[in-house]
Structure 1
Amino acid sequence: MRTETVTYEADGLHFKSELFVEAGTEPKPGVLVFPEAFGLGDHARHRAEGLAKLGYAALACDIHGNGRLVQDLGEALGLLKPLYADTRRMRARGLAALKLLKGREEVAKERTASIGFCFGGTMSLELARSGADLMAVVGFHSGLSTTAPKSDAKAYRGRVLVCIGADDPFIKPEERNAFEDEMRNAGVDWQMHLYGGVVHSFTNVEADKRNNPAMRYSEAADKASWASMQELFTATLIA
């Protein structure tokens, strides 16, 4: 396994992300991995490493600039508030990461995807709404709302999978319903997987340490959603 810190500029900030790739001569499908709201930490790195072991070149992405990682949820949400208010800034950060990934010699630039967790899933969806050249997008316990669903959804170019805890208090049924309408009205090839009895951050084994009942790890939902992602990638990036 080879890892490399890579840097790029976007939205007036300097970003430090980490590329994970196994040795080999053939260009590999590339996958962006956007972390939860707190920033690039071990959770996203572990997922990127797992993707590399499956044969992908995976970029674990910095979202706050300068590799910033915060521990307090309130602080993290404060950093993200301007991006929710102006999704062009959110998209700019994601597009810069995608440009870097596609420019790497290890990556088959015509076969790329994006995944994300929590806010990272929102970033992946906003990338797709920008018309980015992605064959697949996956959001794990990700926010689903957007500022211009009727117009932006028409820009989707690949398949979409979102994996959501059915009891996630941060993603209300109304938000899920609005996302369904967005996908359906735009004719997107999409799936939504719901996991009963599951709340937010269900893929993160460290979630329980936050002592927040809205954020809990679920081994069953974690494994099921990861398997669904692999199935989608096999159909889009490999087939």
Structure 2
Amino acid sequence: MMTLRSEILTYQADGLTMVSHYYVDGGRPDRRPGILVFPEAFGLGEHAKSRAQRLAELGFAALACDLHGDGQLYEDLTEARGLIADLRANPQRTRARARGALDALTSRSEVDPAKLAAIGFCFGGTMALELGRSGAPISAIVGFHSGLATVAPQDAKNIRAKVLVCIGADDPGIPADQRAAFEKEMREGGVDWRLHLYGGVVHSFTNQQADRLGMPDFARYDAGADARSWAEMRALFDEVFG
């Protein structure tokens, strides 16, 4: 019988106090794969938390990760974009925040440190990719409507994980030239990668609250792309974790 447990994990990363949420089936004695869940640019909200809970219900140990420190969540898109602009320009800071989360996750007795993955949404997907570029010992990376650009494409050679990115083909925030640059980066880095495109789909297609932004040409929930991308993530986890 499943005994789903959640608790707050606090740790230091990039000079910040991170307040993340951990989900696990506490009724099992065995170790299981650990999954980092990085949120959209706004910070750690219900979307990432609910995905981490779903992963725990599937038998994983999942950490929904703080992005901005102190569990701060921002509602204004312009403000959130400003906060992540420095992180985009300084990937070492992004990687430090991601690595702090990874260390917190692997400190848990329920987690098998040989079976780790990172997923993320929007900038959270960028964060998962930057963690991979740092050479972190993770087996899978999944980005949902993930920003693909980096100022350090040469670091793709450090990626040990199998990479899956799921993108709306009509996402104005991730245009075709950014996808092409990402493909070039992955090829030159010798990465095991795959890219799934969903026709007629834009940004934030996994988030049922995306329509609240009032920007349907930019961000819009899509139930079909949401379900398909989640299934593709599960298939990748089956592949890498057995």
Counterpart in the other structure of 1:19: 22
| Separation in structure 1 between the aligned mates of residue 79 and residue 57 of structure 2, nearest angstrom | 33
| Separation in structure 1 between the aligned mates of residue 196 and residue 45 of structure 2, nearest angstrom | 25
Counterpart in the other structure of 1:224: 228
The amino acid that maps onto 2:55 is: L
Counterpart in the other structure of 2:105: 101
Deviation (angstroms), 1:73: 0.3
Q: Secondary structure at 2:44's aligned position in 1?
A: coil
Q: Secondary structure at 2:6's aligned position in 1?
A: strand
Asked if 1:67 corresponds to 2:71, the answer is: yes
TM-score w.r.t. length of structure 1: 0.98
Percent of residue pairs bearing the same amino acid type? 58
Q: Secondary structure at 1:163's aligned position in 2?
A: strand
Counterpart in the other structure of 2:124: 120
Deviations 1:166-200 (A, max 9, x none): 00000010000000011111111110000000000
| Separation in structure 1 between the aligned mates of residue 49 and residue 16 of structure 2, nearest angstrom | 21
Q: Secondary structure at 1:67's aligned position in 2?
A: coil
Deviation (angstroms), 1:123: 0.1
Aligned-residue CA RMSD (Å): 0.6
Counterpart in the other structure of 1:175: 178
| Separation in structure 1 between the aligned mates of residue 16 and residue 156 of structure 2, nearest angstrom | 27
Counterpart in the other structure of 1:194: 197
Counterpart in the other structure of 1:133: 137
Q: Secondary structure at 1:234's aligned position in 2?
A: helix
The amino acid that maps onto 1:180 is: E
**Displaced runs of 4+ in structure 1, greater than 3 A?**
none
| Separation in structure 2 between the aligned mates of residue 157 and residue 92 of structure 1, nearest angstrom | 18
Residue 161 of structure 1: which of 160, 164, 169 is its match? 164
The amino acid that maps onto 1:234 is: D
Deviation (angstroms), 1:103: 1.2
Matched positions, count: 237
Deviation (angstroms), 1:82: 1.3
Deviations 1:95-123 (A, max 9, x none): 01001111110100110000000000000
Deviation (angstroms), 1:50: 0.4
Counterpart in the other structure of 2:212: 209
Q: Secondary structure at 2:135's aligned position in 1?
A: coil
Counterpart in the other structure of 1:90: 94
Residue 52 of structure 1: which of 53, 56, 62 is its match? 56
Counterpart in the other structure of 1:39: 43
Deviation (angstroms), 1:26: 0.3
The gaps in structure 2 that reach 5 residues or longer are none
| Separation in structure 1 between the aligned mates of residue 129 and residue 161 of structure 2, nearest angstrom | 11
| Separation in structure 2 between the aligned mates of residue 53 and residue 82 of structure 1, nearest angstrom | 35
Deviation (angstroms), 1:81: 1.4
TM-score w.r.t. length of structure 2: 0.97
| Separation in structure 2 between the aligned mates of residue 19 and residue 228 of structure 1, nearest angstrom | 23
Residue 5 of structure 2: which of 2, 5, 9 is its match? 2
The gaps in structure 1 that reach 5 residues or longer are none
The amino acid that maps onto 1:25 is: P
